[in-house]
Chains A and B, each alone.
Chain A
Amino acid sequence: MKHIAIGILGAAALGFMASAASAGTLDTVKQKGFLQCGVSTGLAGFSAPDDKGDWKGIDADFCRAVAAAVFGDASKVKFTPLSAKERFTALQSGEIDLLSRNTTWTSNRDSALGLDFVGVTYYDGQGFMINAKKLPGVNSALQLSGAAVCVQSGTTTELNLADYFKKNKMEYNPVVFEKLEEVNAAYDAGRCDAYTTDQSGLYGIRLTLSSPADHVVLPEIISKEPLGPAVRQGDDQWAHIARWTYFALLNAEEAGVTQANVEEMKTSTDPNIQRLLGTEPDGKYGADLGLSNDFVVNIVKAVGNYGEMFERNVGSGSPLKIARGINALWTKGGLQYGPPIR
C-alpha cells in the first residue's frame, strides 16, 4: 500500500515539474544546444536521408538554415522523421521546435491546430501519376473514373482527391495508408492505378519506384499546395526567427549573395547588402530578432541562398530536375518575395 502511495506521489510530482517548464522556444533551443526539427520519413528533394544517413532536401536545409541563424552552426540540428499523422502533435507537444515537412498551409491548421506557418518555401499543386505501360490510353486525370487511387491518410491531398472526383462526377476507390513508404510500396506493387500527392512529391517518388520510366505524371493540377515550415502558435519571437530565416534566404538570392561569394560580399558598400549581411555600422537587425547581426551570413554559408537550395535539392542539380516555375523570385516572374531587411 505504502509503495503504491509513494509511486503515485512521485508520478504526480514529475508531472507537475514537466508542466512548469514553458520558457520561450529560442531560450529552450539555446539551452539544449541543438534544434529539434520535424521532417518527413523520406521524400526525395524535401527531406530524405542519403546513403550516409545525412538528411537532404529543401525542408532539411531549412532546418539547417534556422540552426545556422540561431547557433551560427548548421550542424546543430537533430531530425525527427514524422508521418503525416504525427507531425502536428509532435509540434504541439513540444517534441520538435520546428516542423519543416512539406506541409500545406491552410486556415484550419493556422488557427484551430495551434500552429503558425512561417511562409511558403515551395509552391506546389496536387497531381496524379499512373503507370503508362499498364494504362496506355490514359493521358488525363479526367479519364481516371473507376480507378483505385493510392493516397496518404490525414493529408490535404486526401481531401482534394475526394473533392476532385466529386466535382467531376467520377467514381474511384481510395487505397489509404498512413505511411508514405506503405503508399509507395502499394502503388509499386500495382495495388492502385494512380498515385496522388503534390506534384513535386510525385517526381521524387517516381525515382524510388522499381521502373521509373514506366510512370508518367498527368498534366492536371487539382489544388493549391503552398508548402512551408510551421512553429507553435504563441511564441512570436521564435516565429519571427523562422520567418526571417526564410526571408533572408530569398533576399540573399535577390541581392546575388551566394554560398561562394558571401565572404567577399561582406566588404560590399551597397547599403542593401550591408543591411542584409549585418555589416552596416550600428545596424542591429539581427539582434532585434534575438540573433547575432551576421545571422544571414551564417545561413548563406551553411545552405546557400534560396535559389541554390532549390537547384541543389529539387532543381537542375538534383535527379528531380524540377523547373523553378512559380517558385522563381518575383523579379523573375515567380511568387517568391522576401520583405526587406531594414
Chain B
Amino acid sequence: MIHFERFTLDNGLKVLVHEDPATPMAVLNILYDVGARDEDPERTGFAHLFEHLMFGGSVNIPSYDEPLQRVGGENNAFTTNDLTNYYIQVPAVNLETAFWLESDRMLSLAFSEKSLDVQRNVVIEEFKQRYLNQPYGDVWLHLRPLAYKKHPYRWATIGKEISHIANANMEEVKAFFDRFYQPANAILVVAGHVRLSQVKSLAEKWFGPIPSSPPPVRALPAEPAQKEARSKTVQANVPLNALYKTWHMSARDDSRFYAADLISDILARGTSSRLYRRLVKEQQLFSDINAYVMGSLDPGLFVIEGKLIKGVSVASAEEAIWSELDRLVREAVPEREFAKVKNKVESTLVFSEMNLLDKAMNLAYFELLGDAGRYNDELRRYGSLTREDIRNEAATLFRIENASTLYYLSN
C-alpha cells in the first residue's frame, strides 16, 4: 500500500506526492509519455538517444550533474518502448535543487552540438556493448521484427541499426523536444521526507511558469492478429543452441494481463516452477529456461526462452515446451500451486515497498496507466483470479498460429 496525494498545475503537469518521514532522503521522479514506439521508423533509437541529451545541459544550467552532486544527489534515467523516466535521489533538505534542475530542462535544453556529437558516440558504444558484443546480445533485434509487423514495437529502444543513431541531427533533436518534453506530457512524483504543502509550492514555483501546448496525439498502427506461425533461424558464434518463443498477449491495462502474468509465474518463477522442474531438472533438455510477460502499454508478448543442453534436438526441446503449455490448457492448476504463485506476488509487493525509488517509479507508471491508485489494487486483481481464468488465458495465448520462434543456433 502506497499512500499519495495528487494535484495538477495549470499547464497540465500532473504531480503526485508520497510522504515517507522515515527516510532522510527525497526522490524526484519525472516520467515523460514518450518512448521508442513514438519514433519515426527511419530514426529508431531516437527517444533513447534523446534521454542521453537531457544530461547535456539546459537553457540556464550548463551542467546537469555537477550541481546535483554538489548537494549530495544522484540521478539516472531509462527509456523503454513506452516511456522515458528520469529520477533524482537527494538528501531531502536539498530537494529544491532537484526542482531547479528538472524544471530548467523541461523549459528548454541547451542543444549543444558537442553534447550531440559525444552522446551519439556513447550510444553507439552502448549499442555495441549490449547488443553486438555479447553472446545472444542481438536476440531482440531479430525477435521484435519477427513478432511485430506493423506496430512500432517491431524495433528495440536502442534502435534498428547504428546508422539511425549516427545520422541524428540537431533539427530533429529540437523538434522531438518541442513535441514531447512539456508539462502536459509528463508526470512528476515527489516522495520521501517531504510535505504535500512544500511540494505544492515548489512545483508552482519551478514548473508553474513553463508554457504548455496540447499533449501530442498518439496514433500508432495496431498490430494485426497473427494468422500463422512464424520462425527465423540465426547462426552465430555462440556455444549453445537457444530457443526463443513469443505469443501475442494483451496490453498491460487489460484484465487479461494478470492471468498471463500468473501463467509466467507458474511456468518459470523460482526453482519450484514447472519448466524448471520438468525441462531442466527431470528431462534435462535445457540448462536454463525462463518465461515472462512484456508488460507493455500496447498489446505485448508472452516470452519463453531457454538454452539447450548440448546434444538435445531443438525439435524435442520445443515439443516439451508445447506439452507444458497444453497441460495448462487441459488441466486446472492444482489449488496449492495456484495459492503458491499468488503468495509470491504478495511477498514481492511487500519487498518492493521497502525501496523509496521503487515506490516513486510505481506511482508514476500507474498514473501513466490511468490512475496511480491502481497500484494499491494490484494485489486484489491478482488475488481475484480463478483457476478457470488461467485455463482460458492459456487457451487464448498458446495457439500455434499466435507463436513466433527464433532458433538461435551455434555455428
A binds B: no
**Interface residues in chain B, defined as those with a beta carbon under 8 Å from any beta carbon in chain A:** none
**Interface residues in chain A, defined as those with a beta carbon under 8 Å from any beta carbon in chain B:** none
